[in-house]
Amino acid sequence: MSEKVPPPQLSEERIAYLEGLVSQARTAAAAFSQCTQEDVDRIVKPMVLAGLEKAQYLARLAIEETKIGVLEDKAIKNMVATEFVYNYVKDKRTVGVIREDPEHGLLELAEPIGVIFSLLPITNPTSTVLFKCIMAIKTRNAVIFSPHPSAWRCCSEAVKIMYETAVKHGAPEGVFTCLESHTLQDNAYLMHHKDVGLIDATGGPGAVKAAYSSGKPALGVGPGNTPVYLDKTADLDMAVVDIITSKTFDNGTICASEQTVVIDDEVYDRVLRKFEELGAHICNEKETELLGRTVIDPATGYMQPMAVGQRATDIARFIGLKVAPDIKLLVAPIKGVGREHPLSVEKLFPVLAVYRAKSTDEALKVCVDVNHAGGLGHTAVVFSNNEEVVRKFGDMINAGRIIVNSPGSIGALGGVYNDMVPTFSFGCGTGGGNSTTDNVNVYHYLNIKRMARRTQAHMWFRVPNQIYFNMKAVENLRNFPSRSTIIITNPALEAIGHADVVRRALPPETQVRVTIIPDAEPDIKIIAQGVEALNFYKADQIVALGGGSVIDAAKIMKLKYESPEADLEELAAPFLDIRKRVVQYPTEKVNHSRLIAISTTSGTGSEVTPFAVMTDKERNIKVTLADYSLTPDVAIVDPQFVMSMPKGLTVDTGVDCLTHALEAGVSIFASPYTDSNAMMAIRLVFKYLPESYENPQDEEARTMMHNAACIAAIAFSNASVGVNHALAHAFGARFGVAHGRANALMLPHVIAYNASVPTKFMPSPNQRAYVAHKKYAMMADLIGLGGHTVQEKVQRLIGTTERLLDRLGVPRSIAELGIPKDEFERALPELVKNAFDDPSWRSNPRMPLISELTELYWKAYHGRTAAYADAAQERQEAEAILV
Amino acid sequence: MSTVTTPVRIRIEPERASESLRRIREEVVAANGEVALDLSLLARIDSSALREMELLARAAEEKNAKPAVHGANIEIYKVLKLARLSERFRFVD
């Protein structure tokens, strides 16, 4: 039964008849779905041959019945609808896999639509039948045809020829049916039927509108009003012949045929003379006025149906116009577009309006007016040898087909004058109320299924070109020749003589200047001063000596020195995937310099990272830059510069380093390359951070912690960090807590959080399963924590981490920092908001919900985890390991 | 105590599917409504056989019965689905 209540006036018998048609088509379509590509190709070819053989016969039937058009042209149309369409479709795959893109893991598969309900026009009845039957068989669909009432006999004969040939060669019975004499109610009933998958409406505006209004997917072909621009540079002989050929083809019944030709003033008279020479009658003003009020309905402004497809001489005789007996076209000069100029609308008969344009601009404007007077989305034609004019015309006109230096109607059909897809249905886009601007073809008769295979994302592992490490590694500076080197450092490092150590290590011929910047997150003014110094001394080398702030400052100074136009705020635009980011860092450089980073803390790892942070104090904003072009060219990891690092700094930076390694280890961007670094960093931190803290002069411990910071940074430079950093950034900024300590507050809770089953998984094409808990267990194994199950191992890792934090004497809860509960509670919404805005968590294995961030903050407020409280045994074992 | 009768299971030969289905409808279904069709030998089903399936389903429905189908491959199952016949049969395996 149909989905909607049938419209009134349909009898039960009529409904039964229509239901029978649908049932038959549905059964045929179902059976047809089993056919292979070879099966359908075997059916299509004899159909095409049958259509070709009967081309003239069907043309004659159409002429006799419709009294529209030209026999010879209708025969040609039937041949185009078969031979040209076949030529296009014969090698096209329309069954099973129709396209493959192995490089991108994509496959397209064809799924037939099933039952198509198809409206047929009076103007091109049999050719449209042939065209649609071939498309339907090629795509394994069944069609119920509804011909224009005045073209029923010729259409049903064309359907019969196609049907019998198709069934004879293997198509299922019932694949095509043709409605007997019918009413609009029949059409409405079928348009709303739930078993009709698609409506293909080729017909008048009413039929097309009804199709689109049915709520069904529809291919509707809107009306046209083809403007033609005949530019002064055009080949006039060719243009006039093409226009006459097109406009008189089948007496102008193709809706893509020329309607108004806008001619440049310079060639206007010559063009009209040529029209006249070739059999056109040029109307005078009075004749034009007569034509306008007779062939166009003054009430509606549309063409009179009785004129459609009639000969020029018959039209002239009918309206009392005296013309030569052999004229083929009536050319009517008009002075504008719109209701006052009736001939400026669509005229599907051999009456052509012409307009004299004083300039290209005026010509284009008139073409735009014609285009908007009922022809949006359809077809337009330009004759010109000026490419600029052709392009301009293309830009200005809204038409699915813009035909250049060729006839509009035959050009738009495709395959004859150009390589467009051959069709008898012109999609007119939204301008014409259609869903496509394509020449309708077999692919519009298919549901195309895209099979997308999981692709392995390209990963990367990028580090500085050279890394020198171990005690006195700074001496490698002598291997880097430079005329002018600027050392960027802070006052404390200058005061204790570290800058001098660096200066002495540089080659003796190098001019060395020292720029001192404050030991704080660099401000935009400091950057500007640094860049000024680099320019003044024409530096070819920058040595950044310091912790994260100094090295970050040097990275940004280098960027601005080499690319002064770089807009830092724009470069700081957020991104999800560094390979797909919107903003690109500059590649053109006005200066070139080498950046050597010497770290004097063991935590941030800025000497090897592609990140830099600065503030704009005036605007109170923080600018975070991330790009591999920021990575220093050379990193020097020399522990001599950290031997005197204070205890507090040792802890802060050491915990930061541990957090980097733990988060990189479970990141969704983790790879074997980053894992090897992350895991080793974790091992070194657990072993050497307590020693560094308790025995600051232990050279081995300092060296190993310095290395750990660097390799943890290598890991997170390529795998990024996670939710721990997001929480710590927001909390540290709000309550002025050092980054390492803020990390420490969150760390055990975040491990427990990531190790449990996520509420929401993070999309991570690089991972084949949720592995965070297993990665933590692997880390526990690496540092020898024992345990039998993954869960046990994770618990031991959490417990051991907590014991380490205890041993380092860091505050273990937000409450311990002296932040009152009510103050924390008030700050919490903003903290959670900022943490959620922080990009760090986007590589976290588990996607945090807002509620989960809140819960994590509360856990950090209260302090130690359950694992810490309950697992006394594990604690003892962990302590033994740490000792 | 009620008795359950097992319907006759009839294997459909590919060469004469349409004719066999018509005969089953006229002889078996018309008699008691119950039937079990074995489609395991069918690789494809043509439109005339599909029409017979529909008539058979209708005849069974008139007897308040739902014919069983055995051995339909996935392709045949999808065709029956597209023809809106799948709900009118019981698929046994």
**CA separation (Å) from A436 to A168, A399, A418, A429?**
34, 11, 20, 5
- pLDDT band of A8, cuts 50, 70, 90: low
Q: Is the pLDDT of residue A867 over 80?
A: no
Q: Do A23 and B54 touch (CB under 8 A)?
A: yes
Answer left, alpha or beta for residue A100, where phi above 0 means left and psi between -120 and 50 means alpha: beta
Q: Which chain A residues have a beta carbon less than 8 Å from that of B79?
A: 30-31, 33-34
Q: How far is A107 from chain B (nearest CA, A)?
A: 21
Minimal CA–CA distance to A711: which of A739, A678, A686?
A: A678
Supply the pLDDT for residue A145: 97
A557-606 pLDDT tens trace = 999 999 999 999 899 888 877 778 899 999 999 999 999 999 999 999 99
Nearest CA in chain B to A1: B84
Q: Which chain B residues have a beta carbon less than 8 Å from that of A31?
A: 45-47, 50, 79, 83
Fold of A226-409: Aldehyde Dehydrogenase; Chain A, domain 2 (3.40.309)
CB A462 within 8 A of CB A718: yes
Q: Which chain B residues have a beta carbon less than 8 Å from that of A33?
A: 78-79, 82
Nearest CA in chain A to B45: A31
Minimal CA–CA distance to A230: which of A217, A214, A241, A215?
A: A241
Whether residue A140 lies within 8 A of chain B, CB to CB, comes out as: no
Q: DSSP state, A696? A: T
Nearest CA in chain B to A113: B82
CB B59 within 8 A of CB B91: no
Q: Which chain A residues have a beta carbon less than 8 Å from that of B80?
A: 30
Minimal CA–CA distance to A780: which of A792, A769, A764?
A: A792
Q: Where in chain A is the domain with CATH 3.40.50.1970?
A: 466-640
Supply the pLDDT for residue B30: 76
Whether residue A34 lies within 8 A of chain B, CB to CB, comes out as: yes
Q: Do A27 and B80 touch (CB under 8 A)?
A: no
Q: Do B84 and A26 touch (CB under 8 A)?
A: yes
Supply the pLDDT for residue B93: 74
* Cα torsion angle, A726, A728, A734, A736, sign: negative
Q: How far is B54 from chain A (nearest CA, A)?
A: 9
Q: Do A30 and B75 touch (CB under 8 A)?
A: no
Q: Do A30 and B54 touch (CB under 8 A)?
A: no
Q: Do B50 and A174 touch (CB under 8 A)?
A: no
| Coil vs helix vs strand at A810 | coil
* Cα torsion angle, A479, A482, A488, A491, sign: positive
Answer left, alpha or beta for residue A301, where phi above 0 means left and psi between -120 and 50 means alpha: left
Q: Is the pLDDT of residue A378 over 70?
A: yes
A696-706 pLDDT tens trace = 999 999 999 99
Q: Is the pLDDT of residue A790 over 60?
A: yes
CB A614 within 8 A of CB A555: no
Interface test with A, best of B46, B50, B80, B82 (most A CBs within 10 A): B82
Q: Which chain A residues have a beta carbon less than 8 Å from that of B78?
A: 33
Name beta bridge partners: A485: A512, A541
Whether residue B46 lies within 8 A of chain A, CB to CB, comes out as: yes
Nearest CA in chain B to A167: B47
- Measured CA to CA, the distance from residue A47 to residue A55 in angstroms comes to 12
- Measured CA to CA, the distance from residue A424 to residue A412 in angstroms comes to 9
Q: Do B79 and A114 touch (CB under 8 A)?
A: no
> Burial code of A52-62, b = ≥16 C-beta within 10 A, e = fewer?
bebbbbbbbbb
Token duo for residue A347: 């005229």
Q: Is residue A255 among the annotated active site residues? A: yes
How many H-runs (helices) and E-runs (strands) does chain B carry? Answer: 4, 4
Q: Do A172 and B83 touch (CB under 8 A)?
A: no
Q: Is the pLDDT of residue A880 over 90?
A: no
Nearest CA in chain B to A22: B83
- pLDDT band of A1, cuts 50, 70, 90: very low
Cβ atoms within 10 Å of A89's Cβ, excluding its own: 23
Q: Out of A114, A172, A195, whose CB is closest to B47?
A: A172
Q: How far is B5 from chain A (nearest CA, A)?
A: 32
Please name the residues in contact with B6: beta carbons below 8 A apart, sequence gap of 6 or more: B36
A315-357 pLDDT tens trace = 999 999 999 999 999 999 999 999 999 999 999 999 999 999 9
Fold of B9-91: Transcription Regulator spoIIAA (3.30.750)
CB A473 within 8 A of CB A502: no
Query: Residue A513: exposed, middle, or buried by beta-carbon count in 10 A (0-12, 13-18, 19+)?
Result: middle
- Measured CA to CA, the distance from residue A437 to residue A435 in angstroms comes to 7
CB A178 within 8 A of CB A172: no
Q: Where in chain A is the domain with CATH 3.40.605.10?
A: 12-220
Q: Can you give the residue ranges of every domain in chain B?
A: 9-91
Q: How far is B2 from chain A (nearest CA, A)?
A: 37
Residues in chain B: 93
Q: DSSP state, A426? A: B
DSSP string, A244-274: HHHHHGGGGTSTTSEEEEEEEHHHHHHHHHH
B11-68 pLDDT tens trace = 999 999 999 999 999 987 777 778 999 999 999 999 999 999 999 999 999 999 999 9
- Measured CA to CA, the distance from residue A636 to residue A556 in angstroms comes to 19
Q: Which chain A residues have a beta carbon less than 8 Å from that of B77?
A: none
Type of residue found at A561: Y
Q: Do A114 and B82 touch (CB under 8 A)?
A: yes
Out of 1.20.1090.10, 2.60.15.10, 2.10.109.10, 3.40.50.300, the CATH code matching A647-882 is: 1.20.1090.10
Q: Do B83 and A173 touch (CB under 8 A)?
A: no
Whether residue B21 lies within 8 A of chain A, CB to CB, comes out as: no
| ipTM value for the complex | 0.89
Q: How far is A172 from chain B (nearest CA, A)?
A: 6
- Measured CA to CA, the distance from residue A159 to residue A494 in angstroms comes to 94
Q: Out of B45, B48, B75, whose CB is closest to A173?
A: B48
Q: How far is B56 from chain A (nearest CA, A)?
A: 14
User: pLDDT higher for A291 or A764?
Assistant: A291
A216-271 pLDDT tens trace = 899 987 789 999 999 999 999 999 999 999 999 999 999 999 999 999 999 999 99
How many H-runs (helices) and E-runs (strands) does chain A carry? Answer: 32, 23
Mean of all residue pLDDT scores within chain A: 94
Q: Do B82 and A172 touch (CB under 8 A)?
A: no
Supply the pLDDT for residue B5: 61
Q: How far is A138 from chain B (nearest CA, A)?
A: 18
Q: Which chain B residues have a beta carbon less than 8 Å from that of A195?
A: 84
Q: Is the pLDDT of residue A3 over 80?
A: no
| A844-853 mean pLDDT | 97
Q: DSSP state, A490? A: -
Whether residue A23 lies within 8 A of chain B, CB to CB, comes out as: yes
Supply the pLDDT for residue A872: 52
Whether residue A26 lies within 8 A of chain B, CB to CB, comes out as: yes
Catalytic residue among A133, A255, A367, A428: A255
Q: Do A34 and B80 touch (CB under 8 A)?
A: no
Q: Out of B46, B78, B84, whose CB is closest to A172?
A: B46
A185-224 pLDDT tens trace = 899 999 999 999 999 998 777 888 888 888 889 998 778 9
Whether residue A174 lies within 8 A of chain B, CB to CB, comes out as: yes
DSSP string, A163-220: HHHHHHTTPPTTSEEE--S--HHHHHHHHT-TT--EEEE-S-HHHHHHHHHTTS-EEE
Q: How far is A90 from chain B (nearest CA, A)?
A: 25
Supply the pLDDT for residue B1: 47
Token duo for residue A714: 């290598």
Q: Which chain A residues have a beta carbon less than 8 Å from that of B46?
A: 31, 172-173
Minimal CA–CA distance to A150: which of A64, A248, A264?
A: A64
Q: Do B50 and A27 touch (CB under 8 A)?
A: yes
Interface of A with B in 184-203 (CB under 8 A): 195
- pLDDT band of A2, cuts 50, 70, 90: very low
Q: Which chain B residues have a beta carbon less than 8 Å from that of A175?
A: 47
CB A277 within 8 A of CB A271: no
- Measured CA to CA, the distance from residue A136 to residue A43 in angstroms comes to 11
Nearest CA in chain A to B81: A30
Q: Which CATH architecture has domain A12-220?
A: 3-Layer(aba) Sandwich (3.40)
Interface test with B, best of A34, A140, A195 (most B CBs within 10 A): A34
| Torsion angles phi and psi, residue A523, rounded to 5 | -100, 160
Supply the pLDDT for residue A869: 60
> Burial code of B67-79, b = ≥16 C-beta within 10 A, e = fewer?
bbbbbbeeebeeb
Q: Which chain B residues have a beta carbon less than 8 Å from that of A172?
A: 46-47
Nearest CA in chain B to A142: B47
**CATH code 3.40.50.720 for A466-640:** no
DSSP string, A99-167: EEEGGGTEEEEEEE--EEEEE--SSSHHHHHHHHHHHHHHTT-EEEEE--GGGHHHHHHHHHHHHHHHH
Minimal CA–CA distance to A862: which of A805, A814, A803?
A: A814
Whether residue A2 lies within 8 A of chain B, CB to CB, comes out as: no
CB A705 within 8 A of CB A641: no
Supply the pLDDT for residue A866: 64
- pLDDT band of B7, cuts 50, 70, 90: confident
Supply the pLDDT for residue A883: 47
Q: What number of C-beta contacts closer than 8 Å exist between A and B?
A: 41
- Measured CA to CA, the distance from residue A602 to residue A639 in angstroms comes to 9
Whether residue B51 lies within 8 A of chain A, CB to CB, comes out as: yes
| Coil vs helix vs strand at A868 | helix
CB A343 within 8 A of CB A365: no
